[in-house]
Amino acid sequence: MRHPFHAQPARGFRGLSLSLVALMALSACADKSDKEVERAFQNVNVIEESNLSDIMLTVGDPEEAVTYFSRTSAENPENLELKRGLATSLIRAKRPAEALPVWRAVAESPAATNEDRVDYADAMIRSGDWQGADQMLDTIPPTFETYKRYRLEAMVADSNREWDKADSFYEIAAGLTTKPSGVLNNWGYSKLTRGDFSEAEALFAEAILQDPTLFTAKNNMVLARGAQRKYTLPVMQMSQIERAQLLQTLALAAVKQGDVETGKSLLREAIETHPQHFEEAVRSLRALEGA
């Protein structure tokens, strides 16, 4: 008895089709996975670059930061953030003339911010272009209120001898920061140059209260006291070396007032106070005694 033979092409074709579909699906998954991995690595690179940039701008050596941002900015000329990093690093490295064209490029970019324009004005002041800084600050709307903006406004007003404006801007700036010692010192120095010695002394005292390590403010306060013929050091935190240096400053202020003998006495005290040989004070004393 013959058994009929039924060919089953559909089953084989169906199995082949399923295999092809499975392979295509795996291939698509693989392609998708590769793209996701590549995208993930790109994101990691962006994060790493961002972190490295932050490190370079804060704790890194300024010259190393300049080298890093010069290279990465040249490799990515459209990246505005890298240009900002380069300009900021040049300022930190005390190379404002080189920072100026970089900040100009940033400030003139369509994506520039008011903060960029403030930083550009800062670079101009550091380069001695007070008029340019004044004009740049005038382009920034008054609603943009930051410590740095008003500190620069105060400095420009000082340079223009616009004292009322300077005082107003210094006061605003001091109120916009949790560390006002620097701007208080600048404000005090402004008062000192105007001959308002008592106001200057009060501002320097406030600056020292905010930051007892700020030697510049201590030295300036001694100058303000000397200009008022107050030939004693105020009560404040100071090291032995600082005390000797401040006594020398007070001595020279006394000599400038015509109180030469007082100046000599203060210089002798400075020499005795200093823990090492105080050559500068010794030379000043010898010059006075010789005269």
Q: Is the pLDDT of residue 24 over 50?
A: no
Q: What are phi and psi of 235, to 5 degrees?
A: -75, 115
The Cα 21–Cα 268 span in angstroms is 98
How does pLDDT run across 103-134, given as a tens digit for each residue? 999 999 999 999 999 999 999 999 999 999 99
pLDDT of residue 140: 97
pLDDT of residue 290: 86
The Cα 189–Cα 205 span in angstroms is 12
Structure tokens belonging to residue 108? 């003139």
The Cα 172–Cα 73 span in angstroms is 36
Terminal C-alpha separation, the chain: 145
Query: Phi-psi region for residue 128, left (φ > 0), alpha (ψ -120 to 50) or beta?
Result: left
pLDDT of residue 110: 95
pLDDT of residue 47: 37
Q: Is the pLDDT of residue 181 over 60?
A: yes
Structure tokens belonging to residue 236? 């404040």
CA-wise closest residue to 152 among 129, 110, 197: 129
pLDDT of residue 143: 95
How does pLDDT run across 225-274, given as a tens digit for each residue? 999 999 999 999 999 999 999 999 999 999 999 999 999 999 999 999 99
Q: Is the pLDDT of residue 218 over 60?
A: yes
What's the whole-number mean pLDDT along residues 39-65?
A: 62
Full DSSP string of the chain: -PPPP---HHHHHHHHHHHHHHHHHHHHHHHHHHHHHHHHHHHHHHHHHHHHHHHHHHTS-HHHHHHHHHHHHHH-TT-HHHHHHHHHHHHHTT-HHHHHHHHHHHHTSTT--HHHHHHHHHHHHHTT-HHHHHHHHHTS-TT---HHHHHHHHHHHHHTT-HHHHHHHHHHHHHT-S-THHHHHHHHHHHHHHT-HHHHHHHHHHHHHH-TT-HHHHHHHHHHHHHTT--S--S----HHHHHHHHHHHHHHHHHTT-HHHHHHHHHHHHHHSSS--HHHHHHHHHHHH-
Confidence of residue 21 (pLDDT cuts 50, 70, 90): very low
Q: Which residues of 113-142 are buried (b: 16+ CB within 10 A; e: fewer)?
A: eeebbbbbbbbbbbbebbebbbebbeebee
What are the Cα distances from residue 155, in Å, to 14, 149, 166, 181, 182? 84, 10, 7, 15, 12
Q: Is the pLDDT of residue 193 over 70?
A: yes
pLDDT of residue 56: 72
pTM of the complete model: 0.77
